[in-house]
């Protein structure tokens, strides 16, 4: 019994990066299919400014993540592989929900990730996507060249490399 409680406590601590106690608005839902990507501007950890308008013109994947999230840790290698294989054809951007730039840089370096990531240090950009729904991360949005969302996934389904390829490559011009 004591072992079970310890195991449950460890799981809850590890999952804390996925689901924070963000304020939840009753009846709210995150952006969905048919919505447009919200207007935002972020600076990646390598100093590049990326805004919504920079994503227009080709298909895009925007994924809200947290470096302490086991679900994000499971999906990020697939995103990184997709970026390595198709980053010229599809915009790919990860946005850290609350993690600071130094923490994200270390995590990216430790995992040899090359895909672009921004770390605003707060949940302001995440909130534009989540809209008070309290959905955990990862939150991944696939948008067409006009910025219209055509597919979403969240922490209830971790995307495989094949799924990322199937969706993203089906919306490239």
134-158 residue pLDDT tens: 888 999 999 999 999 999 999 899 9
Ranges of H-type helices in the chain? 2-15, 52-55, 70-86, 101-110, 124-130, 161-170
pLDDT of residue 19: 55
List of the chain residues with pLDDT < 50:
1-17
CA 15 to chain centre: 16
pLDDT of residue 14: 40
pTM of the predicted model as reported, rounded to 2 decimal places = 0.87
User: Where on the phi/psi map is residue 75: left (φ > 0), alpha (ψ -120 to 50), or beta?
Assistant: alpha
Contact 22, 76 (CB under 8 A): no
pLDDT of residue 7: 38
141, two tokens: 């949005």
Rounded to whole angstroms, the Cα distance separating 51 from 172 reads 19
């Amino acid at each position: 019994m004591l072992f079970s409680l310890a195991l449950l406590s460890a799981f809850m601590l590890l999952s804390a990066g996925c689901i924070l106690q963000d304020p939840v608005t009753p009846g709210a839902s995150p952006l969905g299919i048919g919505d447009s990507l919200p207007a935002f501007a972020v600076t990646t950890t390598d100093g590049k400014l990326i805004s919504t308008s920079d994503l227009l013109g080709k298909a895009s994947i925007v994924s809200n993540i947290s470096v302490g999230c086991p679900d994000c840790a499971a999906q990020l290698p697939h995103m990184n592989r997709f970026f390595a294989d198709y980053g010229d054809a599809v915009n790919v951007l990860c946005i850290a929900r609350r993690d600071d730039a130094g923490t994200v840089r270390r995590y990216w370096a430790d995992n040899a990730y090359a895909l672009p990531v921004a770390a605003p240090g707060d949940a302001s950009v995440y909130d534009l996507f989540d809209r008070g729904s309290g959905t955990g991360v990862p939150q991944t949005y696939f948008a067409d060249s006009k910025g219209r969302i055509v597919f979403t996934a969240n922490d209830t389904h971790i995307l495989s490399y094949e799924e990322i390829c199937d969706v993203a490559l089906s919306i490239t011009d």
